[in-house]
Structure 1
Amino acid sequence: MQRVLGLVVLILSAVVVEAAASYLALDGLHALVQRRLADHAGSFTFQSTEGEGDSFVISDTKGKPGGITVECTTVSACARGLYTYLTDFGGVDIWWTGSRLDQLPSRLPAVGQPVHGTAVVPYRYHFNTVTFDYTAAFWTFEQWELELDWLALRGVNLPLAWVGYEYILIEVLREAGLSDGDISSFLSGPAFQAWNRFGNIQSSWGGDLPMQWVDEQFALQKQILARMTELGMTPVLPAFTGFVPRAMSSVYPNASIVNGSQWNGFPSTLTNVSFLEPFDPLFATLQKSFITKQQAAYGANVTHIYTLDQYNENNPFSGNISYLANVSAGTFASLRAADPEAIWMLQGWLFFISETFWTNDRIEAYLGGAPSNDSMIILDLYSEAAPQWNRTSSYFGKAWVWCELHDFGGNMGFEGNLEEITTAPIDALNSPGSSMKGVGLTMEGQEGNEIVYDILLDQAWSSTPIDIPSYVTSWVARRYLVNSLPSAAQEAWRILSTTIYNNTDPSSQATIRGIYEIEPAVAGITDSATQRTVPVPYDTNTTIVPALQLLVQAKAENEALAAVPEFVYDVVDVARQLLSNRFVDAYQELIVTYNSTDATSESVQRAGQPLISILSNLDSLLGTNENFLLSSWIAQARNWSHGDDSYAAYLEYNARNQITLWGPDGEINDYASKAWAGLISTYYIPRWQTFINYLASITRLGRAYDSTVISGQLLFIGQEWDARIWGEGPGEHWGVSGEDVWELVDSILATWA
């Protein structure tokens, strides 16, 4: 069979080769159906067909009543065709909270007239480098399996695949002559590896990266890549970036190595990363070593697309045009020397975040170092709020992907602009001279706001902007899969989709987190100019309050909703947002009281109590749902220790520090904050109570507010909290609290609506 296939490959055209390859790969789709639709495993037929691009046709299987056939030009198109049937005809879906595909009707609905679908762009991309830490740092393959099925069905064909990178890098550096001590002093902890890969930080705090972690992540990557490829995806694998341990200068004293800049206030021991310049011959040697080892581990043809970011929040050594062109030319030449078909992918975040440095002539020179327009793929990382493609003449002809960033640090507040993410990609695709080749999700963390991500991936399969009202209606019906869905549920989402998810202010398009997650201060917390957080850009009383009331009403009208995990999740999430917004009001009242001329210690304490009450209510609410537990995050980390207590403590420290101080001394304090039960009760409440007590004490003593004093107290709380071991404090539990979520929500509405 293999010999015959070889002859076919030699004879047939490129289109038919692709069809043959897709046909052989369709076993992955049958396996997906078996995983998620076991009762209907024999009902679906997949067939490859000739054609350009990614397209599918869904039809009723001839001669097989109740059978469904999906014809496709690529595996990804077949997966998308299956998804289209499941959602449009079966009324079921798969969510981050779990798959509901097994609720497909026992008698499959007929298609009738065949349904055609075509992707409007060749690339449907997913992941930000930092998502691998903010969300997936401690994922098992079971969690990856759900994620990859979610991606495949939505038509994603170009996912980033960073897991296990350190294993290959260590092998390369050892071969180059560096000792294990040299290497360990360079690598960062499990929850911070993305920024080591970016060249922002080096070394770690809390202990060296264990080889056990490196080995197990390498094994996990093999599972992930096998699943990605069988689902028709082309993984984007890492390459050698040029960031090296400091000892490289000693081992290669004649090499051209420069130091990067300090990053986000980290001490020099943890930043100023050494960078081997790509025009140095050693760079090509190490690149060849890296890609060769990676191909040997994963397969030579798993991918030819490589992610490689050299200046993420770290400006080049020189702004000279020739220098920048030489850097990129050397980088690309090293990739092509190691893989003649290599394509370089980079995140375009640098052009936005360092816009003053990256003038158009510098961008053009840097991108121009890769000679042809199909040699690179640029992720226009923040297209929904700060697109760079339009100021760079469509990246001077290089292929690029329209991306939605969102969800900074994995923050969980409601935010989105459905209008922008359905119209702007189509406008960009159709703009004169556009070199746009894809649509993608580049969220920093994958928490909440699921509708904004769903609709963008769906937009990749529609040549005209999606009609938002009808989309929301069908989305809600699938999400709350019950007979006789009450209209109140649809009305709740009509309100949310036309207000909160219609945010047209680019300055507040990120993800809005609760100010209780920010280090307390008497001023600046809600001032967007400080970049600490942004004001809530909508009226809570006309959005969140009625939406929550309507969801509760829907449950009262149809008790079956209480058994739908996504419905319960959304009720908790909307109630969480209500309390988060009310905390802003309570905080402002506290500050008004503190600043009043007749303030007393007692009046300040009284004004502070609503803040603590809100946080207590919030912790109780979140404790009812496994998706909002600190314990889930810590358990995921500790489970990788396999019972080794010291290793478990190391992993737990990494997990704790990321979501709190983000550095040994709060260098990026609270950036990755989370609305989680347990975190609120044992971390945020003590911080705010300390703050309230401090304001009361200085009011009593007639002293002025000193930000350095309170910052020092709060930093101490953070360091003590990070250093603790699981289970020592109140509110830390392994499972949901057992409290009745509906009673809590009723109480919250009665008190805070």
Structure 2
Amino acid sequence: MVRLRRYLTDVAHVDIYWFIGSQLDHVHDLPSCTVLNGSSVIPWRYHFNTVTFSYTAAFWTWEDWETQLDWLALRGVNLPLAWVGFEKILVEVFEEIGLSQADILEFLSGPAFQAWNRFGNIQSSWGGQLPMSWINGQFELQKKILKRMVELGMTPVLPAFTGFVPRVLPEIIHNATMVNISQWGGFSTEYTNDTFLEPTDPLFAQLQKSFITKQRQYYGNISSVYTLDQFNENDPISGDLTALKTLASQVGQSLKKADPDAVWMLQGWLFFSNSDFWTNERVEAFLSGVENDDMLILDLYSETQPQWQRLNSYYGKPWIWCQLHDFGGNNGLYGQVLNITINPIEALANSSSLVGFGLTMEGQEGNEIVYDLLLDQAWSNVPIDPAAYFHDWATVRYSNATDGDLPLQIYETWDTLMRTVYNNTNVTGVMAVTKSSFELAPNASGLVDLWGHHPTHLMYDPAILVGAWQTFLAAANSTPELWSNEAYQFDLIDMTRQVLANAFNPLYLSFVAHTNLTALDVSNASAVDACLASATETQRMMLSLLSTLDQLLCHTPSTVPESSLESWVSAARAWAGDNDTISDFYTYDAINQVTLWGPTGEIADYASRQWAGLVAGYYLPRWRTFTNAYLEALGSRTAVNQTQLHGQLLGWEEQQQLRSGSGLSALQSPQRLKGMLQMIQSDWCGFLNCTRTR
């Protein structure tokens, strides 16, 4: 497959992309070529994070999966995670030991939150009850997915029984050893505090064998690699070294009893996320419970927070160097091109147990080039030159836009992006894809220059991106055919989105400064009036910017899945068929994930998206309410009642959970997009300090 992609990209100049689909039909006469040689420097190329199945693929259809699997195959991925349909087998296993279907369904979480139910972080659902129609539909989808994976030469990583059980199980089986191990994310006990069947109890091995046996009966003997994570942001009951070794040993033995060839794949996130618990001694003790060849570890966050060095290459266990990159499906432009080319090759030279490279993003929502780059690095024993790579990637991406050469502005733009936006080296500060401050719940402080996993701090000068955007826009002047090219349309919208998102920060800071009563002499009426006038104008610009951004996002090409709130919700509702009650539940679930993430905002805005409909229908009204409160307070020379404002915002946010979408749909006319860009330049180039491109 990789040779095929080499031919398609290097010779025919076409490819398959996440957001713009396949270009393969643009080749009418296949060009001839010499023999293409090459081999992978590692045996495994891995793809997916457990939570990708919720943040990105929750409502995917078979058509979505077909495109995804083609993309994976062409890039040489041979070890994809395959969680879909897990609940069908779990239900049958639980029914065997006397649990009712009602008790089981009460334990399971909604479609947009299944990943964390599988992890044992949450249980039940706050928007409705998961219906069997969903479980059966996902099971049928999984059959197609696995069949295609096998046809493409892949080894699917299959689920196993983790030990998390409905909380009524102790009432049915009285002598089994069960504990409650999770208190996660600020959720109430109703939705967390999951019940965990200890692996040392004989019932654990019994259920494991039942699960794997049923899975093999349904799907065939297609893989012996099993994903099994019990301590994702949960800790074991005991930190005793012997207890940890015994725990892992019992889990490993349960797999081996069900499948003698079983390999336990573990996401290594736990060793980073709670390194206070997972000391080197404890990790070594835990891992020593399983033979080296019977375990495979994902060093989940290798590009930013690698654990393999601290943990001595996982004490001999085979492991995979992974790029996480994105949390929650956030949309900011971001990358670490040097880290994902140099570091995996250095790791390969310094760790004898490194067996693969992989992608483990939480959400697959953008920045496709950096994912391509790591997967292509798997086929080179020296670090890829990012400058040459970005040049060649752009050549293929827009090759069908014109019969002649691409304009130089295309290459200039991508070279600038490679050196700035995609070249973060401050990995202890800006650790992942950036968010915009407007996506966060409005506040008078703490929104700009955030660091960590959801940074709002920019590691590049926003003016540089404005310049690159202008250069990219100018390319269509010399080559008007670009306006009809979906790849160009998508990338132009994406860059414009980031330019506008960045512009919100100075407006926000100006508004906060002008409405800060503690910095004003309230007895000076003229000074207060001047601040009120400035703040009022700044509010107008803030809301206008968000409205403009939403209008821009409506022009995203129709080939782009989940490019708007409406398309995300429509995909969810489609799984409900004609059942209005289920449709409303899926709608709630879909909207809740990208807004409140919990019944009362327990992880609010973690999975925020810059989508059409969400910007104008959710973020803009929040900021209008917030800025109005501050303008009114400034006008009356009184402090804002923060408790009242917070309650007002949360009440409104909770009301939005049952919306059906924005009603906005993508506009596909390139002339309309061109007009939209002309309007943005006319309205905003003065503020952005750029020259209007005609």
Q: Provide the TM-score with structure 2 as the length reference.
A: 0.94
Inter-partner Cα distance in structure 1 for 2:151 and 2:393: 28
Identify which of 675, 680, 686 aligns with 1:748. 680
**Correspondence for 2:367:** 449
Given residue 256 of structure 1, which amino acid in structure 2 is its aligned partner? Answer: T
**Correspondence for 1:378:** 297
Task: Answer yes or no: is the 8 Å Cα contact 1:524–1:530 preserved in 2.
Answer: no
In structure 2, stretches of 5+ residues that fail to align are: 521-526, 689-694
Task: Answer yes or no: is the 8 Å Cα contact 1:515–1:533 preserved in 2.
Answer: no
Given residue 413 of structure 1, which amino acid in structure 2 is its aligned partner? Answer: G
Q: Secondary structure at the match of 1:117?
A: coil
Which of 531-540 and 672-681 deviates more?
531-540
Which of 237-246 and 691-700 deviates more?
691-700
Q: Secondary structure at the match of 1:377?
A: strand
Deviations 1:694-729 (A, max 9, x none): 111222333334443322122112111112334xxx
Correspondence 1:188 to 2:109: yes
**Correspondence for 2:537:** 606
Inter-partner Cα distance in structure 2 for 1:602 and 1:217: 56
**Correspondence for 1:15:** none
Q: Secondary structure at the match of 1:115?
A: coil
**Correspondence for 1:303:** 223
**Correspondence for 2:592:** 657
**Correspondence for 1:214:** 135
Deviations 1:281-312 (A, max 9, x none): 0000000010001001100x210000000000
Inter-partner Cα distance in structure 2 for 1:690 and 1:737: 33
1:602 to partner: Cα distance:
4.8
Correspondence 1:566 to 2:472: no
Correspondence 1:89 to 2:21: no
Correspondence 1:712 to 2:647: yes
Deviations 1:402-458 (A, max 9, x none): 000012100000110111101100000101x43110000000111110100000000
Given residue 552 of structure 2, which amino acid in structure 1 is its aligned partner? Answer: L
Inter-partner Cα distance in structure 1 for 2:142 and 2:204: 25
**Correspondence for 1:426:** 345
Deviations 1:503-558 (A, max 9, x none): 0011213110111111010000124268763311110112x112111111111111
Identify which of 12, 19, 25 aligns with 1:102. 25
Question: In the TM superposition, what are the counterparts of 1:390-469 in structure 2 within 5 Å?
Answer: 390-431=309-350, 433-469=351-387
**Correspondence for 2:692:** none
Deviations 1:648-686 (A, max 9, x none): 111111111000000110000001111111111111111
Q: Secondary structure at the match of 1:642?
A: coil
**Correspondence for 1:360:** 280
**Correspondence for 1:335:** 255
Task: Answer yes or no: is the 8 Å Cα contact 2:127–2:585 preserved in 1.
Answer: yes
Identify which of 438, 442, 446 aligns with 1:516. 438
Task: Answer yes or no: is the 8 Å Cα contact 2:432–2:452 preserved in 1.
Answer: no
Given residue 550 of structure 1, which amino acid in structure 2 is its aligned partner? Answer: T
1:180 to partner: Cα distance:
1.6
Q: Secondary structure at the match of 1:306?
A: strand
**Correspondence for 1:677:** 612
Correspondence 1:351 to 2:351: no
Inter-partner Cα distance in structure 1 for 2:124 and 2:610: 29
Task: Answer yes or no: is the 8 Å Cα contact 2:431–2:455 preserved in 1.
Answer: no
Inter-partner Cα distance in structure 1 for 2:509 and 2:454: 16
Equivalent pairs: percent with the same residue?
Answer: 50
Identify which of 525, 528, 534 aligns with 2:450. 528
Deviations 1:224-283 (A, max 9, x none): 000000000000000000011111111122111110131110001100101111011000
Identify which of 572, 577, 582 aligns with 1:642. 577
Inter-partner Cα distance in structure 2 for 1:265 and 1:396: 34
Task: Answer yes or no: is the 8 Å Cα contact 1:305–1:342 preserved in 2.
Answer: yes
Change in CA separation of 1:318 and 1:742 when aligned onto 2, cut-off 3 Å:
same
Inter-partner Cα distance in structure 2 for 1:303 and 1:516: 45
Inter-partner Cα distance in structure 2 for 1:662 and 1:736: 29
Task: Answer yes or no: is the 8 Å Cα contact 1:631–1:735 preserved in 2.
Answer: no
Correspondence 1:619 to 2:554: no
Given residue 616 of structure 1, which amino acid in structure 2 is its aligned partner? Answer: S
Inter-partner Cα distance in structure 2 for 1:715 and 1:164: 34
Deviations 1:368-413 (A, max 9, x none): 111x211111100100100000100001010000000012100000
Inter-partner Cα distance in structure 1 for 2:515 and 2:453: 24
Change in CA separation of 1:362 and 1:706 when aligned onto 2, cut-off 3 Å:
farther
**Correspondence for 2:524:** none
Identify which of 706, 717, 721 aligns with 2:656. 721
Inter-partner Cα distance in structure 1 for 2:454 and 2:640: 20
Inter-partner Cα distance in structure 1 for 2:420 and 2:535: 35
Task: Answer yes or no: is the 8 Å Cα contact 2:554–2:665 preserved in 1.
Answer: no
Change in CA separation of 1:447 and 1:214 when aligned onto 2, cut-off 3 Å:
same
What is the Cα-based RMSD across aligned positions, in Å?
1.4
Deviations 1:295-343 (A, max 9, x none): 01100x2100000000001111111111111111110000000000000
Inter-partner Cα distance in structure 2 for 1:382 and 1:534: 20
Given residue 553 of structure 2, which amino acid in structure 1 is its aligned partner? Answer: L
**Correspondence for 1:115:** 36
Deviations 1:64-116 (A, max 9, x none): xxxxxxxxxxxxxxx1111111111111111012000122251x32223x221
Deviations 1:2-40 (A, max 9, x none): xxxxxxxxxxxxxxxxxxxxxxxxxxxxxxxxxxxxxxx
Task: Answer yes or no: is the 8 Å Cα contact 1:276–1:283 preserved in 2.
Answer: yes
Aligned length: 665
Given residue 406 of structure 1, which amino acid in structure 2 is its aligned partner? Answer: H
Task: Answer yes or no: is the 8 Å Cα contact 2:432–2:454 preserved in 1.
Answer: no
Given residue 391 of structure 1, which amino acid in structure 2 is its aligned partner? Answer: R
Given residue 548 of structure 2, which amino acid in structure 1 is its aligned partner? Answer: N
Q: Secondary structure at the match of 1:221?
A: helix
Identify which of 591, 595, 598 aligns with 2:512. 591
Inter-partner Cα distance in structure 2 for 1:281 and 1:203: 26
Task: Answer yes or no: is the 8 Å Cα contact 2:431–2:451 preserved in 1.
Answer: no
Task: Answer yes or no: is the 8 Å Cα contact 1:521–1:707 preserved in 2.
Answer: no
**Correspondence for 1:127:** 48
Task: Answer yes or no: is the 8 Å Cα contact 1:86–1:104 preserved in 2.
Answer: no
Inter-partner Cα distance in structure 2 for 1:379 and 1:614: 41
Change in CA separation of 1:377 and 1:702 when aligned onto 2, cut-off 3 Å:
same
Task: Answer yes or no: is the 8 Å Cα contact 1:200–1:314 preserved in 2.
Answer: yes
Inter-partner Cα distance in structure 1 for 2:584 and 2:664: 17
Task: Answer yes or no: is the 8 Å Cα contact 2:78–2:154 preserved in 1.
Answer: yes
**Correspondence for 2:523:** none
Identify which of 383, 388, 394 aligns with 1:476. 394
Question: In the TM superposition, what are the counterparts of 1:224-243 in structure 2 within 5 Å?
Answer: 224-243=145-164
Deviations 1:483-514 (A, max 9, x none): 32101111000000111101001121311011
Deviations 1:572-628 (A, max 9, x none): 000000000000111111111112414455543332111101101100100111433
Given residue 352 of structure 2, which amino acid in structure 1 is its aligned partner? Answer: S
Given residue 355 of structure 2, which amino acid in structure 1 is its aligned partner? Answer: K
Question: In the TM superposition, what are the counterparts of 1:243-322 in structure 2 within 5 Å?
Answer: 243-299=164-220, 301-322=221-242
In structure 1, stretches of 5+ residues that fail to align are: 1-78
Given residue 98 of structure 1, which amino acid in structure 2 is its aligned partner? Answer: G
Task: Answer yes or no: is the 8 Å Cα contact 1:662–1:669 preserved in 2.
Answer: yes
